[in-house]
Amino acid sequence: MNLPTRRWNDIEAAAHDRAFVVAGAMEADLLDDLRKAVEKGILEGTDLEQFRRDFREIVERHGWRGWTGEGTKAGEAWRTRVIFETNMTASHAAGRWEQLTDPDVLEAMPYWRYVHDDGVLNPRPQHLAWDGLTLRHDHPFWQTNFPPNGWGCHCTVEAMTSPEAGDPTEPPAGWDEPDGKGRLPGVDRGFAYAPGASVSENLRRIVEEKAAKLPAQLARDFLAQAEKAGIKPAVALLSAKRAAKTEGDAKKWLVTEGKRTKTEHVVAYNAATGKEIGRYVGNDRKRVGLPLEISRLLDDRAASVVLMHNHPSSHSLSAGDLTLLARPGANKAVVHGHDRSWFAATKGANMARLEMALETAGIELDRQIYLLSQRGLGITGIEAHLRNLALNRAGIIRYEYALDSRRARLYTKERAALDAAVEEITLAIKRARS
């Protein structure tokens, strides 16, 4: 929207995602014409000189007087450059944010690298210090330091699969400590926000909230239409409160019933809505059958099923669990042990190679178990965990976990040997993949 303002700082930060402002431009028609002149540069690729010609014509037609820079050629050149380049840079940065936060891009390249423009004549020291800084996309740094970070800043951000050798992986000390005026180091006033982030996040939030209120099938159809329109809400964020409650209730039931019956049970819920699909009681210690309705959903690419179950043995996800995760409609697999441990996995970038990876990892795991036993190390209870750590490193799955205190102590005590074993399994998977 066009928003009349008297000064450049009448609105700041993320408010610029929704409002076009030119300081001192108070008339709606004047502001609308200036916005259209800037949009011409964004959409048609016209340059600064064309904007200056348009600016002169617009100012004359509307009789705008008293604007900063009026009266001198140098003043006009400075003012038009500030208006044009600031809006162009912010627009490009907002577009870049949208590209980088696409769920498909984030899955393949979850790290972002800060890139300083070496063509700048008078570089800011802090911006130079950030050059090459590589952090995960969800690091707080990007919420305030996503470029541009000041007037005339031409820094940018590129997506990375992981940090490269020599890349800094932590921001400089004090990066988030404002000075007496509330300004962060290296960030000009009004620039401590990520252009476009608030728009995309709010739009996704609207979609998420709407989907959370719909029945499962309608929610899937609605999300499919939203994706066609370019809105790709992260499934893990949809109806987060409901999903958290569903998981909490499911965990309590699984562990309580599991301890009582000493068998496996399953809870399934829809990741898009957070609503529980059903609970299924098993009668075996090592496996539980899935009903036909769940099996059908797991074959539906539009579904987003989270499968939660318990392991009386308190072991990590089995090969069978991961095979279920590989099915088109599966979103996540979660296992809760009876000793407060838990293990969770989602699909990795190389999930399509799961069958080969499981076979290769199984062979190498057996070899590593033998080698560790020769050194007097027993790893009973964490064999599946070691394999899953290797599958995570190889990009087959994304793996999270919390070990019980006994196994956590074992892993800590023998970390070097166990990490070396995991690395050997990882290398075997990668060799088989190449």
Task: Flag whether pLDDT at 346 surpasses 50.
Answer: yes
What was the pLDDT predicted at 53? 80
> Is there a single domain that holds both residue 96 and residue 52?
yes
| Residue 364 placed within a domain | yes
| Residue 245 placed within a domain | yes
Domain membership of residue 375 as a residue range: 351-434
Least confident range of 41-50, 56-65, 73-82, 230-239: 230-239
| Residue 287 placed within a domain | yes
> Is there a single domain that holds both residue 314 and residue 413?
no
What was the pLDDT predicted at 198? 45
What are 332's strand-pairing partners? 306
> Is there a single domain that holds both residue 62 and residue 16?
yes
Q: What is the DSSP letter of 148?
A: P
Residues 3-46 pLDDT 10s: 333 333 333 333 333 333 444 443 455 455 566 666 665 556 66
Count the domains in the chain. Answer: 3
Residues 95-116 pLDDT 10s: 677 778 777 788 888 999 999 8
- Determine how many CB atoms are found less than 10 A away from the CB of residue 380: 9
Last residue in a domain, options 315, 347, 379: 347
* C-alpha of 24 from chain center: 38
Mean pLDDT, the chain, whole residue set: 78
> Is there a single domain that holds both residue 298 and residue 402?
no
> Is there a single domain that holds both residue 358 and residue 337?
no
Residues 76-98 pLDDT 10s: 666 667 666 666 666 666 667 77
What was the pLDDT predicted at 321? 95
Backbone conformation region of residue 132, classed left if phi is above 0, alpha if psi is from -120 to 50, else beta: left
Task: Flag whether pLDDT at 347 surpasses 90.
Answer: yes
Last residue in a domain, options 52, 67, 100: 100
> Is there a single domain that holds both residue 321 and residue 366?
no
> Is there a single domain that holds both residue 292 and residue 259?
yes
Question: Is residue 299 exposed (0-12), middle (13-18) or buried (19+ Cβ within 10 Å)?
Answer: exposed
Band (pLDDT 50/70/90 cuts) for residue 237 is: very low
Q: Of 379 and 161, which is predicted with more confidence?
A: 161
Contacts of 397 (CB under 8 A, 6+ apart): 322, 325, 345, 346, 347, 348, 351, 354, 388, 391
Q: CA nearest 341: which of 237, 254, 244, 241?
A: 254
By DSSP bridging, strand 397-402 and strand 342-347 are antiparallel
> Is there a single domain that holds both residue 382 and residue 395?
yes
The count of C-alpha atoms lying within 13 angstroms of the C-alpha of 249, restricted to the half-sphere facing its C-beta, is 14
> Is there a single domain that holds both residue 382 and residue 279?
no
Residues 127-177 pLDDT 10s: 888 999 999 988 888 888 888 777 767 788 888 999 988 889 999 888 888
Contacts of 119 (CB under 8 A, 6+ apart): 154
Residues 198-210 pLDDT 10s: 445 555 665 666 6
| Residue 307 placed within a domain | yes
> Is there a single domain that holds both residue 94 and residue 5?
yes
Least confident range of 29-33, 357-361, 401-405: 29-33
| Residue 257 placed within a domain | yes
- Determine how many CB atoms are found less than 10 A away from the CB of residue 74: 9
Task: Flag whether pLDDT at 193 surpasses 50.
Answer: no
Task: Flag whether pLDDT at 126 surpasses 80.
Answer: yes
| Residue 194 placed within a domain | no
| Residue 248 placed within a domain | yes
The count of C-alpha atoms lying within 13 angstroms of the C-alpha of 211, restricted to the half-sphere facing its C-beta, is 33
Q: Of 155 and 64, which is predicted with more confidence?
A: 155
Q: Which helix (H) or strand (E) holds 306?
A: strand 305-311
What was the pLDDT predicted at 8? 31
| Residue 221 placed within a domain | no
Whichever domain contains 281, its CATH number is 3.40.140
> Is there a single domain that holds both residue 254 and residue 341?
yes
What was the pLDDT predicted at 66? 65
* C-alpha of 192 from chain center: 20
> Is there a single domain that holds both residue 67 and residue 17?
yes
The token pair that represents 343 in the structure block: 């293990």
The count of C-alpha atoms lying within 13 angstroms of the C-alpha of 375, restricted to the half-sphere facing its C-beta, is 12
What was the pLDDT predicted at 261? 94
Least confident range of 67-81, 108-122, 358-372: 67-81
